[in-house]
Structure 1
Amino acid sequence: MSDAVSHPTGDKPKPSARRKARQFALQALYQWHMAGGNVAAIEAQFRTDNDMKKVDVSYFHDLLHGVTHSLADIQQAIEPYLDRDLKELDPVELNTLRIGAFELLKRIDVPYKVVINESIELAKRFGAEESHRYVNGVLDKVAARARYQEVNSHRLKP
């Protein structure tokens, strides 16, 4: 008997609406990072060019605009834990860290473990081969500082 979970169609489970929102936000932030431009225009383009039916569009909006409006706070949160200058980070890695740090700092309704796990999944899907390990390490340290009580309450439980 196998421990693997089988799916009737043979497909992997469909990503959640929030996971899809994070994926689109990462792609939009990458575009903004590389080409510049107006964030509202980039958002409008994504809404027009992509099937957003199964996406938490409100969360996509919050991430895209929240990250771009909170860059100073995000940079201050992640920089102490980087092993190189911010400008030297791969754009996918940087924007994955930005999304994760934004959620840790501003979206306290999302448990820190979920934020870190979702960021790892973004890095695995869109980043370089081992970038998920780097993202995990940085965001774990950001969480320990930004969500001190939440993190420590989980670590103290038997």
Structure 2
Amino acid sequence: MSQTPREATPAQQSRRAARELAVQGLYQWQMTGKSITAVESEFRAQIADEDLEDHENWHKVMGIADLALFHELLHNVAADREAIDKTIAPLLDRRLEDLDRIELAILRLGAYELKYRLEVPYRAVINEGIELAKAFGATDGHKYVNGILDKLASRLRSAEVAARRR
């Protein structure tokens, strides 16, 4: 018998939407060099922009997103970028600069959550990274993200990973 996937709770949907926005914000920050505060302000301003091409979808995502989590992720990943990058770099098969920018944003977000948001199970962090990569990344980018976050979880949360594998 195959199991059907559980439907996400409203709280899970809210956190997922916050992560989606955070990845998009981190991508914009990486690509434009704008301050993270400016990026967040632009995102929040787009809620009211009726002329935005994808206004309805944008309004829906912003409407359900946990905006406090969005703010935390966006600002803290940016603030801790150097340490996060040093954590990720040894696990990569290429230079950090050679990574796809969206995959880099997803890896930074996942690394931050694995390192600092210990209340979030490591499997949830990895799964969210995979789903974000499927939604925004290159065709097989989710496989790469999965591999890196799995290795990172083994390093940062070895006890949790070991307990899960027993």
TM-score by length of 1: 0.89
1:60 aligns with 2:57: no
CA distance in 1, matches of 2:158, 2:126: 15
1:37 aligns with 2:47: no
CA distance in 2, matches of 1:4, 1:56: 26
What is the RMSD computed on CA atoms of the aligned residues?
Answer: 2.2
Query: What SS does structure 1 have at the residue aligned with 2:120?
Result: coil
Q: Which moved more, 1:69-78 or 1:100-109?
A: 69-78
The residue type paired with residue 77 of structure 1 is T
After TM superposition, give the deviation of residue 30 of structure 1 in Å: 0.7
Aligned residues: 151
Q: C-alpha deviations, 1:94-148, integer Å up to 9, x for none?
A: 0010000000011111110000000000000000000000000000010001011
After TM superposition, give the deviation of residue 4 of structure 1 in Å: 6.0
The residue type paired with residue 133 of structure 1 is K
TM-score by length of 2: 0.85
CA distance in 1, matches of 2:162, 2:94: 28
Query: What SS does structure 1 have at the residue aligned with 2:93?
Result: coil
Q: From the two aligned structures, give the one with the greater helix fraction.
A: 2
Query: What SS does structure 2 have at the residue aligned with 1:16?
Result: helix
Tell me the residue number matched to 2:46. Answer: 49
After TM superposition, give the deviation of residue 82 of structure 1 in Å: 0.3
CA distance in 2, matches of 1:127, 1:59: 22
Give the 3 Å change call, closer, same or farther, for CA 47–141 of structure 1 in structure 2: same
CA distance in 2, matches of 1:144, 1:131: 20
